[in-house]
Amino acid sequence: MEKVGYLGPEGTFTHEAALLYAKGKQVYLVEYPSIPDLIYGVDKGQIDHAVVPMENSMEGTVNVTVDMIIHEVSVYITGELVLPIHHCLLAKPGVQLDELWVVLSHPQALAQCRKFLYERLHGVELRATSSTAAAAREVMMGPREWGAIGSKHAARVFGLDILEENIEEHNGNCTRFVVLSRQQSKPTGCDKTSIVFSVDHKPGSLYHALRIFAERHINLTKIESRPMKTSLGEYLFLVDFEGHVQDAVVQDALDELAGQSRYFAVLGSYPRFT
């Protein structure tokens, strides 16, 4: 039976994503205390796959995930999942909102609920935790006056009441998770590929790199820059596009791009989440 790792404890959004990935499969879920531990776990062969957060529609890239995939480990992206993120205010059974003096959650969750916290819980102490589920667990074990921002799933796992639902500031809040494995995935006919490359410091060098995709009608779905971690002002470009590395048109494009790049690597081809 394959082992699939996720960022624990049970009740995190990553746990929800891992359950979604595991649906219909014979797998064993393994909890990890941090994203680096989780990514090292799959790299070292402790687990077969790892489900990790890659980006959030409100807060952007999860830097530790992206940077570790690029710089520190030899794993491939083999899948993706997109999970709607809805935050709830959780408390011990019977506690009312005006009884709360402390609210705990992951820093991103606190940021995504900033308006609600200001308008409904102004002056309450905010404390950061390693995950939304860790916050829910601390509330379960802590004083009556503590509340947590977490999911309905976390409320069920830890036996907490939901005082308010959907307290995030913006509709459409969602997180993209990726599955990391040591082996690449096969083409499905509906795939996405992630690559990373760098170009010379010359006028038009990035334009000429991206032109390779435009000329072949390959649709780019994401582009961002990340520090090369060599010297100030040196950047890598992370690009996602539709297609698989085994597609002839993609192979042709990547061969040309690799030939004119200072650094080039394929991070993985995988089924697109639909």
Give catalytic residues, as residue numbers: 175, 177
CA distances from 193 to 42, 70, 265 (A): 20, 14, 11
Cβ contacts of residue 157 below 8 Å, gap of 6+? Answer: 10, 11, 133, 136
CA–CA separation, 29 and 47 (whole Å) = 9
Please give the single-letter amino acid code of residue 173.
Answer: N
In whole angstroms, give the CA distance from residue 6 to residue 19: 9
Element (H, E) at 44: none
Would you say 19 and 43 are in contact if contact means Cβ atoms under 8 Å apart?
no
What is d(CA 174, CA 154) in angstroms, rounded to the nearest whole number?
Answer: 17
CB-CB contact of 22 with 1 (8 Å): no
Residue 250 near residue 193 (C-beta atoms within 8 A): yes
Q: Could you give the CA distance from residue 265 to residue 96 in angstroms, rounded to a whole number?
A: 53
How far apart are alpha carbons 261 and 205 in whole angstroms?
A: 9
Cα–Cα distance, 32 to 95 (Å, whole number) = 31
**Taking the CB of residue 64, how many other CB atoms lie within 10 A of it?**
15
Q: How many CB atoms lie within 10 A of CB 22?
A: 17
Are the beta carbons of 160 and 54 closer than 8 angstroms?
no
